[in-house]
Structure 1
Amino acid sequence: MDIRAYMGFVTLGAIVVLLAEVAAGRHRGVYKRKGEFPLIGLNMAVGRFLIGPSMAVVIALVWGALLPRYSEALSDIPLWLALPLVMLASEFCFYWVHRWAHQGVRNRSLLWMIHRTHHSATYMNVSVWMRLNIFWYVIIPNAWTMSLAIYLGMGEAAGLTMALNAAWNVVTHSDFRWDDAVRRHPIFGRAFRAAEHIIVSPGIHHTHHGFGRDGASYRNFGVMLSVWDWAFGTLHIPDGRPYKYGLPGHDAHWLEELAYPLVRIDQSRKNAVPSGTQPFAADREPA
């Protein structure tokens, strides 16, 4: 089974979860900001189906030029070993790029201004997975690491990792929060909290999108694995949902969120640094 088949199943699953959320009323009244639907729709049309595939071709050419003698160099590694290696390496790279993006919130770094689109939603459901700036497809480290793995001969491991990554994004962005009950369970709760040091639960990622009580966008940077957050001291296991989702004081136009820095609107209106998204003095990120 190739990557197209894997992603086809994941896409179908995402549609099923999305429809279930809608049927359950989880989308009712949450799209309060103007431009939410065009932002998500254009990201899918331009980002997912145009820039994403184009970048895949560009990145493949880059690796071929940089490492001309290493094509298929690791093709003899069995899948049972290649899969965890690719997963750990891709998660490690994503962790640091993702963390650097959030560390740029104070000085409005380019990396943060591109990534903020994913965090300005004041709700959490499957649609947030596709709520991205189109240039995120250029800098997202997964595209580079997966392309490298394929170039080195670990194509099946890369395909499985991409499919698992996409499927887990559906799980962790969904409004269905089955993990809260498990985390509070008197018997299974402790074991589940221990597992959250390894696997990103919906609660761990919802916390990353929130502010206020149990909200901490300066923590929990992993996608599937929380081992790097645990190793580098940025893991926060919540007790429940965050107080609120989004970025307090955020007022950017949806077109700017879609295509910054190509599109800049109302630059005279400076977005205040969201107080709810910054660590407290005793828990501040190192400079």
Structure 2
Amino acid sequence: MRPHLQNLLILTIMLGFAGMEFVTRRYKRSVHATHDDTKLELAMFVSLLAVTQPLALLVTNKLCVWLIPQQQGAWADLPWWAMVAIMLVCDDMTQYWWHRLSHSPLLWPLHRAHHTAQYMSIRMTYRNNFFYYLMMPGLWIAGVLLYLGFAKVYGVYIVVKLAVILGAHSAWRWDEPLYRIRALRPVMWVLERTISTPATHWAHHALTNEDGIGHYKGNFGNLLFFWDILFGSAHITRKYPARVGLQDDLLFGQERWFTQMFYPLFQSRREHSALRFGGRAYAEASADAALPHGERTQA
């Protein structure tokens, strides 16, 4: 796919989801962003496009030219379906595991920013710590695959993946009306076990698991929800959590945008925070009994 066509399709998809958020009034009713939310989301989106992705592709290309010069374009003659299968494993499955590992205590500070949004919308899709994406294995592997000759299908793959990811985060829950159509039930049964949908991904962002809908220790899939099915982290209810975000932010206030984005270069001043060396999240403190579902459950 030609770069200009790829960019046009991506822009169209973004505008499409944004338009549906406004037309359905879901954005107005549910997205109440602070100035720090806006700064974090805008800064991360720009840095991902202008710094992280170009840097990863440039560095991997230079390394491949140096280490395996004879392999440039060596896999270009593979059939498209083989390239897609390889990308699903090397990019999407590795992102699943990176995401899953990022909910461990060690890596949680690099992913925490994604869960501090108290709303779902396409605007927070790439809300994360700067180093979260810089260290993402799939991004660097993609650079190697492009060097090996995957460019002809990579553009299509990225457009499809972006559409699914944006749709899963969108304030407009596109799957909700489809669940009510009896004739589509078999189709939706397959679809929700194949790709990420608003119902499954909203559950991952839930404020609590108490209602049986939230599942923030699972539903890690990005393009394919199938990885959650395969690796035992899936939770499907066809319902949506009443609230999303982190409990400790509700109690102690939001962390500053630059702390969330650039930790560990900047660290929190909060008493209970995963964003400082030696800090502890609220639910790990002695006040656990007062609120058992604080940030520890996320981390």
TM-score class, shorter: 0.7 to 0.9
Normalised to the residue count of structure 1, the TM-score between the two structures is 0.85
Residue 244 (structure 2) pairs with residue 248 (structure 1): no
Runs of 4+ that moved beyond 4 A: 276-279
The answer to whether 1:264 aligns with 2:282 is no
Which amino acid counterpart does residue 182 of structure 2 have in structure 1?
P
Higher helix share: 2
1:93 matched to which residue of 2? 94
Q: Determine if the alignment matches structure 1 residue 2 to structure 2 residue 2.
A: yes
Please name the residue that 1:282 is paired with. Answer: none
Is the CA contact (8 Å cut-off) linking 1:208 and 1:220 kept in structure 2? yes
| C-alpha contact 1:82 1:157 (8 A) present in aligned 2 | yes
Q: Show the counterpart of 2:71.
A: 70
Q: Does 2:18 match 1:15?
A: no
Write the deviation string for residues 76-95 of structure 1: whole angstroms up to 9, x where unpaired. Answer: 10223322332233211111
Deviation at 1:230?
Answer: 0.8
Change (3 A) 1:177 1:51: same
% of aligned pairs identical? 25
Distance change (3 Å), C-alpha of 1:272 and 1:190: farther
Q: Give 5+ residue unaligned stretches, structure 2.
A: 274-280, 284-291
TM-score by length of 2: 0.82
Query: Paired residue for 1:211?
Result: 207
Tell me how far apart the structure 2 counterparts of residues 10 and 181 of structure 1 sit (CA, whole Å). 25
Partners of 1:139 and 1:238 lie apart in 2 by 32
Please give the alpha-carbon distance, in whole angstroms, between the structure 1 residues aligned to 2:78 and 2:11.
29
Matches within 5 A, 1:82-231: 82-104=83-105, 109=106, 111-212=107-208, 213=211, 214-231=213-230
Distance 1:112 1:62, change over 3 A: farther
User: Do the aligned partners of 2:20 and 2:172 also contact (CA within 8 Å) in 1?
Assistant: no
Structure 1 residue 190: Cα displacement: 4.0
Give the one of 250, 275, 283 matched to 2:293.
Answer: 275
Measured in 2, the distance between the counterparts of 1:94 and 1:241 equals 24
For residue 5 of structure 2, give the secondary structure of its aligned residue in structure 1: helix
Q: Provide the aligned C-alpha RMSD in A.
A: 2.5
Supply the distance in 2 between the matched residues of 1:266 and 1:276 (Cα, whole angstroms).
Answer: 18
* Residue in 2 that maps onto 1:57: 58
**Contact 1:3–1:163 (CA under 8 A) maintained in structure 2:** no
CA distance in 1, matches of 2:111, 2:18: 23
